[in-house]
Amino acid sequence: MGTKKKQWNRFKVFLYALPAIALVFIFHYMPLWGWSFAFFQYKPGKSLFDCAFVGWDNFTTLFGNVVMRKNLLRVLLNTFGIHFLGYLFSPLPLLFAVFLSEMHNKKFQKFVQSVTTLPNFIGWVIIYSLVNSFFSTSGLVNNLLMGLGITSEPFNLMTSGDHVWIRMVLLQQWKNLGWSAIVYFASIAGIDQEMFEAAMVDGANRMQRIRYISIPMLIPTFFVLLIMSIGNFLNTGVDQYLAFGNALNKETIEVLDLYVYNLGIGSGQISFSVAVGIMKSAVALVLFGMANFASKKIRGTSVF
């Protein structure tokens, strides 16, 4: 093949891929033009050209205006609070996998794994329905408690604004624990069996094998997953909080993503919500850079 023909062939492959690459650009890069809204005083229904250019004013208002600042701090606190509580539970999948795989009844293991992984595939709207049937005023829990005479009045957990963070985190655990454990099950299967046998010859009992072999072998995976999650620190998604949010728990359930949604779509404050979104993207990029750097230092390979 001549070089010219070769060059053309290289370009031809690119042309084949172009429609698909174009889709990625249209839906991931093109939205960036929307950032310009943050620098105008946008009013819904108007063209951006008819709106006043305000430079960085929207950003300074976010921090300068007392109400705005209070709201921003509140939703950041909610986001951080829910995430930090979530981190407290992060060793749970590891322990779940270690302790379950040390039970030598394979059938029981399989059963527990199938059952605990199921909730991962259930959407938050459905989970709301399930939780509601347990914890609403006429739900199962209230019925049992009142039936046993433990409480005299039903409590409504669904609308309560108390302990929202921990309740949201516990629900996440219910949904994700079994699923998150899978990666550790697979790692355990990859541990050299001779290590366990050698330890047994040396007289190590089960708890010692867990303590000195299983857990140390899984710690690297644990840290990799932990580092990767740092890049997602501000991303909570909205599904769960939209499903569980209501007028009464709004103060404590509104996370950053939900705030952006409520501000932009709910109250039509497009300019401010885009400004908040830009800051979020910037912080996410820094966090991701840090995670990548940490991963390079610890593992020798970068994520990206």
Partner 1 sequence: MGKKMSAADITYNVLCGIVFAVFSIICIFPFYYLFICTISDPSLVEVGKIVFLPKGLTLKNYREVLRLPNLGNSALVTLGRTVLGTASSLFVTSYLAYFFTRTEMWGRKFWYRAVVATMYFSAGMIPVYLNNKMLGLLNSFWIYIVPGLVGVYNMILVKTSMESVPAELEESAVLDGAGYLTRFTKIILPLQKPILATVGLFTAVGHWNDFFTTQLYITKPKLYTLQFLLYEFQNQVKNAASQINSASEAAGVGGSNIQPTGIRLTLTAIVIIPIMLVYPFIQKYYVKGVMIGAVKG
Which residues ranging from 35 to 54 are in contact with partner 1 (CB under 8 A)?
A: 35, 37
117 binds partner 1 (CB under 8 A): yes
268 binds partner 1 (CB under 8 A): no
Q: SS3 for 53?
A: strand
Angle value at C-alpha 227, between 223 and 230, nearest 5 degrees? 145
Q: How far is the CB of 82 from partner 1 (least distance, A)?
A: 18
User: Cβ(254)–Cβ(262) under 8 Å?
Assistant: yes
Amino acid at 102: E
Task: Give the span between the Cα atoms of 247 and 266, in whole angstroms.
Answer: 13
9 binds partner 1 (CB under 8 A): yes
Neighbours of 186 (CB within 10 A): 11
Running DSSP on this structure, what letter comes out for residue 115? H
253 binds partner 1 (CB under 8 A): no
Amino acid at 81: G
Q: How far is the CB of 280 from partner 1 (least distance, A)?
A: 7
Q: Which is nearer to partner 1, 66 or 197 (CB)?
A: 197
Q: Which of 73, 77, 88, 118 binds partner 1 (CB under 8 A)?
A: 118
Q: Which is nearer to partner 1, 15 or 66 (CB)?
A: 15
User: Cβ(102)–Cβ(206) under 8 Å?
Assistant: yes
**Total residues in contact with partner 1, by rule CB under 8 A:** 102
Q: How far is the CB of 166 from partner 1 (least distance, A)?
A: 16
Q: Which stretch binds partner 1 (CB under 8 A): 57-65, 74-82, 131-139, 212-220?
A: 131-139
Q: How far is the CB of 126 from partner 1 (least distance, A)?
A: 6
Q: Which of 88, 103, 166, 219 binds partner 1 (CB under 8 A)?
A: 103
Residues 6+ apart with CB under 8 A from 53: 39, 40
239 binds partner 1 (CB under 8 A): yes
Q: SS3 for 208?
A: helix
Q: Draw the binding track, 63-102, toward partner 1 (x: CB under 8 A; -: no contact).
A: ------------------------------------xx-x
Q: Which of 56, 63, 87, 108 binds partner 1 (CB under 8 A)?
A: 108
Distances, alpha carbon 277 to alpha carbons 13, 24, 237, in Å: 36, 20, 13
Query: Interface residues for partner 1 in 151-180 (CB under 8 A)?
Result: 156, 158-159, 174, 177-179
Q: How far is the CB of 142 from partner 1 (least distance, A)?
A: 7
Q: SS3 for 51?
A: coil
Task: Give the span between the Cα atoms of 231 and 282, in whole angstroms.
Answer: 11
Using CB atoms within 10 A of its CB, is residue 303 exposed (0-12), middle (13-18) or buried (19+)?
middle
126 binds partner 1 (CB under 8 A): yes
Q: How far is the CB of 135 from partner 1 (least distance, A)?
A: 11
